[in-house]
Each structure stands twice: as C-alpha cells, then as structure tokens.
Structure 1
Amino acid sequence: MAYQIYIELNTRRLILKNNGSIIATYPVAIGKPSTPTPVGDFKVLNKIKNPGGVLGTRWLQFTWQQHGIHGTNKPWLIGQAVSNGCVRMYNRDVEELYDYVSVGTPVIIRKNFSFISPPGTGNSREHSNTNRSYFIYTVKRGDSLWKIAHRYNVTVDRLKKYNNLNNNLIYPGQKLKIPVR
C-alpha cells in the first residue's frame, strides 16, 4: 500500500491518502508564526510509541531538525498555530495514523491543496459545490458543533446550513461537510 500524509496549513488538517484516495482527514495544530511548520516534501524518518510528555502517545519524525507529527497533552490547542513547528494531533487520531504509516512514508506540507474531484467522479471524500469546497469530517465521541466549528474556523450556523441540520444534535460516526472556503 502506498500511503501519503498531506498537511494543509491553511485549514490545519492532515489528510491521509492511499494510492490517491483520501482515507481520513484529521484536525491538527501547527507551528506558531515565530516557529512555523516547515513547508516541503519530507518522509517519516522515525516512529516512537508512547514518547510521553508533550508528545502524547505517538511520534512520527519527519525532519532531522526534530519536527514531527505527534499527539498532545493539551488537546484543547488542536486547530491552532501554537507549536514549535511540529504537527500536533489528538492522541486517538495520531494512534490511528501511526498504524497506517511506516518509516519512509511521504509527508507533503503546503499552505493548501486542491484535492477536489471533478463533479460526479466520486473518487474523493472532498467535493466541489458550486464555487465552494469542503471536506468530509467524521464526528468523534466528545465532538459538538461548536467544537468542530471552532476547530475549522467556521460558524455553527454555517455548519448547520451546509449540512442541512435543524438542531445542534450530532452523533459519533456522522459525516459532516466542513467548508474550506
């Protein structure tokens, strides 16, 4: 299997692809302006289970300057630009990612990507809706519309309208469209 990790800094998300198909999308925290997450093409150099402390439950190193994708002991910071250049994930998300990838897996980091399939192709979990784009987010246990909206810098009302929701009730496993533009 040919997995690739894409990190989109503008939307603060990590996209896991396998042979060109999106497998999963995860919210992340990225580097703060004074210590930004590096942009470029990298590879997973090292994997460590349970590194502890601020690194959470998993560590995936992608530069020799010690940049990595890792869990966190401060999950409330996911979705923000707060790290020293690393990419932070919820521990449950980085544990899932860790099991998919191996040393040598490509890590591609850009300000933004265009993974939008042409209408009707159905090849991707990202879609185009007139001039708007969105990606599909799977609701996890503990999520609320407010938390998801805050994480992706959209309003609750916009999320509700985009997903045709009549109330604030969501459930784990539910698929939500998260507008990117």
Structure 2
Amino acid sequence: MQVHEYSFVIEATPAEIWGAMHPPRKPLPPGEIQIIEHGPVRIEILHPGDEHGDGLVRHCYFRVPRYLMSRGIGQSWEWVTDVRPNESSRYDAVGKPLWSKAQGFHRFEDLGDGRTRVHFRETYHVFNPVMRVLLERRVHRFLSKDNDRLVKAGIEGALQASRARAARDTAPST
C-alpha cells in the first residue's frame, strides 16, 4: 500500500473553505448530472449526497501513465463519507486501469487570524499482487505528483468564485 500525505495553509477560515467547496446546489433536470472540470480532471457527480455532501458519489477521469494502455486516462468511482462540516471528510474509491482501491481524508485545522491548514492523506492499494509489486509505487507516484498543487488550486479557485458571488450578491443594484 502507498501513502501520500501533505498539508498547506490557505488564507480563509475552515467555514469559508467548506462553504466554497460545498456551494448551494442548483436543482438539475431529471437525468442530468453536475460536471466539474479542473485542468485534466473531470468529475461527474452521480449523487450529491445529503446537504453536507455525505454520501456523495462521483465518477472521476484523470491522467495515468500511458504504459497502462488506457490512452492515458484513468477512472475512479468514489463515495464520500464521515463528513463533519467545516472539519473533515473521507472518500473511498475503486479505480482503473490498474484495478485499485484508494482512501482519502482531508481535515481543516483552524490557525486563527483567518487562516487554515488543510491536511490531506491518501492511501492507494493495487488488487493484483503481481501488478502491485511491478507498478503500484510507480503509478501512485504519477497520480500523486500533481495532487498537492491541484488540490490547493482547486480550493483557492472555489474560494475566489465564492467570494466573487458574495460580492456580487451584496453589491447595491443600480
């Protein structure tokens, strides 16, 4: 099993980050799903979960090494659990082309003065014992190499959009 852990500081409170990452959902017509695209990552929200995102189910597409013979595209099916609003949540996933399971956990640590340390931990385990020995470490390194940057950029982008919405909503109308 492979493990990747990191943390970074964001200039926002845990509540601001949580609100930006879980904005109010617009109802979608029957049969439509929410799609989020961030760089090379595409996330399809198949089930939004409860009002806090607990039970959310998503189908993700992301880059993988081309030697896995999937045209460089990997997929995972993920579900979010153990949600504690403004504090933490966990996801479990099954992925391919290298059939695997992953578990991720993020936690917000309030540093005061409007700053939050975001902690992230992910484990990755390939099912096939031969593939595990041959490829697990290499593939996990490939998958994790941009995670630190992408997760931070995703949170910062969500905060920027949330703050812009709030400014627009409170601006006096002319």
What's the TM-score once normalised by structure 1's chain length? Answer: 0.24
Structure with bigger RCO (C-alpha 8 Å, 6+ apart): 2
Structure (1 or 2) with the larger CA radius of gyration? 2
Q: TM-score, normalised by structure 2?
A: 0.25
